Structure 1
Amino acid sequence: MTNSTTHAQFISTAIEAINTEKAALSLLTEQIDSRFAQACDVILACQGRVVVTGMGKSGLIGRKIAATFASTGTPAFFMHPGEAGHGDLGMLVQGDVLLAISNSGESDEIKMLLPVVKRLGIPLISISRDHRGMLPRAADIVLTLGKSQEACPLNLAPTSSTTATLALGDALAVALVHARNFTSEDFALSHPAGALGRQLLTRVEDLMHTSVDQLPLVNQQSPLHKALFTMTHGRLGMTVVTDDEQRVVGIFTDGDLRRVLERGVDLSVPIHEVMTINPRQIERTMRASDALSVMNENGISQLLVMDDEDQLQAIITVHDLLQAGVK
């Protein structure tokens, strides 16, 4: 069987499908009214979890909506309506809110759950095409999508309707993010394994060198050759220069060493004559990503971590940050 469809026809069909779904989203915006605000109020007041349910394609979209809720500060999970009728309904307890999705409003699997939902006194928010159907008639709050044309040429396969449902779920999640004053740090707490989580959660104190043998210190009167031995022992590409009271007065790095050698400086010169003064200092609670930005902006590879009494507490290097995946 040969396919006579041309590339131009493929592209034309794709654009038509996307435009059909855009029209569905435009229709959805006309459905956003006081019912949407009431749904937000109910979810904000929820003492339990938002339990999302839906069958078929609606269920697949429901899983994504539940995941978005959970990752943005609204405890939520997906409950399969078919499995719920065989025991999983025990997941639903008083204090929860049920968000049920059915484009037609006539899902038999959800219909079987409604008597129990009502008996438990659980608020029911429905998402459907319009107000017709068993589900919206039973719901406390009815959210509608509008009767849009499916992008499927047969007007059968859920396409535009699932896109609109997903957008409505995202709209609820975003509205709740604003209402909860949800921050990027809050978001990171539910994403600790990802790159964003590392960027937002990892602090300097999680990566810095604090053990005594990892803090290369040398007195400012020490000769340069002693500072080099200290630097080599510390293996951090630098040594910290202190005064007699152990206050930091400068640092000497690999870069300083190259410049000294280029000038032919004698290795017996006191380190304070060739050190870098006023080294950059940070606090241990700074984000590791911010510490990396400080290094990049200043063209340096190490930072001194100071305590509340302005005493050297630790050292962190660009290698530590990159090795931890900080960007």
Structure 2
Amino acid sequence: MERAMSAKTWSTDSVRAREGLSFWRDAVCEAVLNVVPEAPGETFRASLSGQAFGLLRFAAFSSTGHFIVREKGHVNRASDDHYLISLQQRGSSGLEQGGDPYWLAPGEVGIVDGTRPFRVRFPSAVSRLLAVVPRQRIEARAPWLRRGPSRKVAASSPYVDLVRRHLVELASGSLDAHQAELLTDNLCNLLALATAPQGPVEDMPSATQTEAIMAYCRARLSDLTLNPRAVAAQFGISLRTLHLRFEQTGASFGRWLLESRLQECRRILSDPAQHGRTISEIAYAAGFGDLSHFSKAFRARFGEAPRDLRKGH
């Protein structure tokens, strides 16, 4: 397992104003990719925090307006064989690589091929989250991205919200190496789902197919009728294939569904903002039709009753 680099921070406030842009270039090159930033004449300010786990790199930054250029000469094939995935949090970003330029607004996600030149423009103050992931790791699940232009993940995709959540966690600076590896695998599967050409699910790689099934089920935890046969029919696969996909994760469909529902209840019970909801309301909303069964399963899984966990928060 790769050891983590401690989260590191950079800020142009730590250097003289005339050194800000060169300082920023060094920071971005170390934490993200080798690029050249350029800024208008007015005062430039920026800050960045980043963390690395071997070939994985994650960062969050905020800055005043500027733009970034990556030319052929900036690409080191040995170390830059990555995709750059970005989540816009504030302001807008104009991206250009191969195809038509496009803009990212807050909440939108873009994918850029790090082995090819690109330009990113920030016309005003901006905040973004970044994940730098090895090419092979993504293309094993999404081969259609290979050598394609930079692209925006469709806002209409049912998976884009999960992509956002994973990027927020990965750029938080609070993960250990094991957590980062697991979340990156999930992120790659979600990106494959969100960018896949229209086609039958059975044509997807098995890991991508499994993530599609799980994402569908997570969005429907409250459905008391959720069962293997209905899910298999939804995806046009056999019941045997559905069970095989879950066996490959180390859990049956029923065990995975119970764990997902329990974790959802635990998350809500631990949130002080949700204290206005009753325990029975939370259990029913997560798909438990029997409160007694929920209480027993919760205690068996977490070693305490739901009300005791809530008291601790």
- In the superposition, the TM-score normalised over structure 2's length comes to 0.24
Name whichever structure is richer in strand by fraction: 2
- In the superposition, the TM-score normalised over structure 1's length comes to 0.23
